[in-house]
Amino acid sequence: MGNDRALVRRPSPLLADGLITHIERVPVDVRLAERQWQQYVDALRAAGWSVVEVPEIDECPDGVFIEDTMVVYRDQRSDSIGANPAPVAVIARSGADERRPEAAEAERAVAAQGYRIERINEPGTLDGGDVLKIGSTVYVGLGGRTNQAGIDQLRGHLEPLGANVIAVPVSKVLHLKSAVTALPDGTVIGYEPLVDDPAAFKSYLAVPEEAGSHVVLLGEDRLLMAASAPKSAELFCELGYTPVVVDISEFEKLEGCVTCLSVRLRT
C-alpha cells in the first residue's frame, strides 16, 4: 500500500442543514453521523491508509464531503520516463456558492502533502464528486455542479500530465460519482435508472442498488461501500472482491456516499 493517505474532515454541527437537490429532506441525526464518520475513518485506517484531518469548517454544513474540494492527479507516465514530478491538486470551484469556503483549508492540507496546486477559476465551476479517474482516463460529469468551462480548465491542467479528459452527461443525480464509480479492473459500475449514458464508458456493469454504485478502492481486492447495498456487496463477492461495509445512512440523507467523505492521495 505504501504511503497512501486520505484527507478527511469532521462533520459540522450544522450537518443537518446540508444541501439536497434530487431527494426529499429527512431529519439527520448529527450524533449518529459523527459516530458513522468515525467508523468510516477507522475503516480507512484498518485498510492501511494514513488519515490526515483537514480542520473542521463548522459554518459549512457540507464540509464533511471533502471530496468535492479538489481533484488530485499523478502523472501515470512518470515511472516510464524516469521523471517524478509532484502530483497536482486542482482546487475546485463548487457549483454551489455556499460550498466555496470549504476549499481554502483543504488546499493548505493537500499542499502540505507535497501536491502542486492549480485552480478552477471563474467562470468555471467543478465539484470533485463529478470526476471519476480510471488510470489516465478522467471522466467528468457535465450538467449539475460542473460546467463546460470547469471541464475545459481541468483538461488544461491534466492533459499535459497524460490524462484523457472525457465529459459525460449527468442529469439524474447530484454528481457523476453519485451515479457511477469503478472497480479495481476499471469496470464502471452504476445503478441503471440513474446513469445517463452507460455507453459512455468502455466497460460497464449494472448493480442492483443505487448505493451499490459507490465504491472506494482500499487496495488489493477490498472495496469500501455502504451498508445500504447488500445485494451489490454480494455481487462484488461473487466477482472475487472483498467488501468492507460501513453504515453512512446520515450522509446518504444529504446525497452523500462513501467516496465523498475523503480525498484519496494514492502513491
* Residue numbers 173-192 binding ligand DA2 by CB under 6 A: 174-175, 177-178
| Contact flag: residue 65 with ligand DA2 (CB under 6 A) | yes
In the stretch 114-153, what mask flags binding to ligand DA2 with x, by CB under 6 A?
---------------x------------------------
Secondary structure of the chain as H, E, C letters: CCCCEEEECCCCCCHHHCCCCCCCCCCCCHHHHHHHHHHHHHHHHHCCCEEEECCCCCCCCCCCCHHHHEEEECCCCHHHHCCCCCCEEEECECCCHHHHHHHHHHHHHHHHCCCEEEECCCCCCECHHHEEEECCEEEEEECCCCCHHHHHHHHHHHHHHCCEEEEEECCCCCCHHHHEEECCCCCEEECHHHCCCHHHCCCEEECCCCHHHCCEEEECCEEEEECCCHHHHHHHHHCCCEEEEECCHHHHCCCCCCHHHCEEECC
Active site residue 157: no
Q: Looking at 80-88, 220-228, 237-245, 256-264, which segment touches ligand DA2 (CB under 6 A)?
A: 256-264
Which of 40, 62, 124, 183 touches ligand DA2 by CB under 6 A? Answer: 62
Which of 44, 67, 134, 144 touches ligand DA2 by CB under 6 A? Answer: 67
| Contact flag: residue 255 with ligand DA2 (CB under 6 A) | yes
Closer to ligand DA2 by CB, 75 or 124: give it: 124
| Contact flag: residue 96 with ligand DA2 (CB under 6 A) | yes
Q: How far is the CB of 260 from ligand DA2 (least distance, A)?
A: 3
Active site residue 60: no
Binding footprint of ligand DA2, residue count (CB under 6 A): 20
* Residue numbers 18-37 binding ligand DA2 by CB under 6 A: 18-19, 21
Residues contributing to the site for ligand DA2 (CB under 6 A): 18-19, 21, 62, 65, 67-68, 96, 99, 129, 174-175, 177-178, 254-257, 259-260
